[in-house]
Amino acid sequence: MTDEIAISHLQRRKIEGRVFIPFIDACREKFGEGPTRELVAAAICSLATADGARWADMFGADIDGLRRVAELWAGGGGMEVEVIDQAVDHLDFNVTRCRYAEFYKELGLADLGSQIHCSRDHAMVEGFNDGLELTRSQTIMAGASCCDFRFRRKA
C-alpha cells in the first residue's frame, strides 16, 4: 500500500506554485532579482529533466510516449490540446486553453508562471529523450491565443 494520493498534474503544479512563490519572493529580497532568476532557472531545469527521464521510463522515450506525457499534462482539465499531426518522427499540437497559465494570471504572476512552468518544457525533453527537440514560438502565458508545441526527432 502506498501513502501517495493520486492528484492531477495541474493540482501538483498549483501546490508547487504556492510553495515556490513565497520562496522566490524571499530569495528576491535577500539576493536580488538576477541571482534569484538564475537559482530558479537551475532548479526548474533540474526538476524538469528528472521528470522527463521518469516519464520516458513510464511511457517509452518515443513520440507515442511524448503524446502520453502531453495527455498527462492535460489531465484533470489542465489543458485543452489540439493535435495537429503525429508521425514516428514528430508530434505537433497546440494548447488552446491552459489552466496553468490561468492559475498564474489569476495571481498576477504570469511572468513568474512562465519562469517556473513554461520554461520546464525544453529541459523535460532533454531528460525524456535527448534525440528529440521542442520548438515553440508562443505561449498562452505570454499572451498568445495558443501554445504551439512542435516536437521533432533531431537530424
CATH of the domain at 56: 3.30.1380
Q: What local confidence, expressed as pLDDT, does residue 111 receive?
A: 85
Kindly tell me if the per-residue pLDDT of 1 is higher than 50: no
3-state SS, one letter per residue, for 135-151: ECCCCCCCCCCCEEEEE
Mean pLDDT of 9-27: 90
Mean pLDDT of 97-114: 91
Task: Band the pLDDT of 127: cuts 50, 70, 90.
Answer: very high
Residue 16 is assigned to a structural domain of this protein: yes
Residue 109 is assigned to a structural domain of this protein: yes
Residue 2 is assigned to a structural domain of this protein: no
- Residue 134's domain comprises 9-153
Q: What local confidence, expressed as pLDDT, does residue 4 receive?
A: 58
Residue 4 is assigned to a structural domain of this protein: no
Answer for the pair 51, 124: CB distance below 8 angstroms, yes or no: yes
Cross-strand bridge partners of residue 110: none
Mean pLDDT of 84-95: 98
pLDDT in tens, 57-88: 999 999 999 999 999 999 989 999 999 999 99
* Residue that wins the pLDDT comparison between 47 and 1: 47
Residue 136 is assigned to a structural domain of this protein: yes
Residue 1 is assigned to a structural domain of this protein: no
Short-list 2, 6, 125, CA closest to 76: 6
As for how many domains the chain has, the answer is: 1
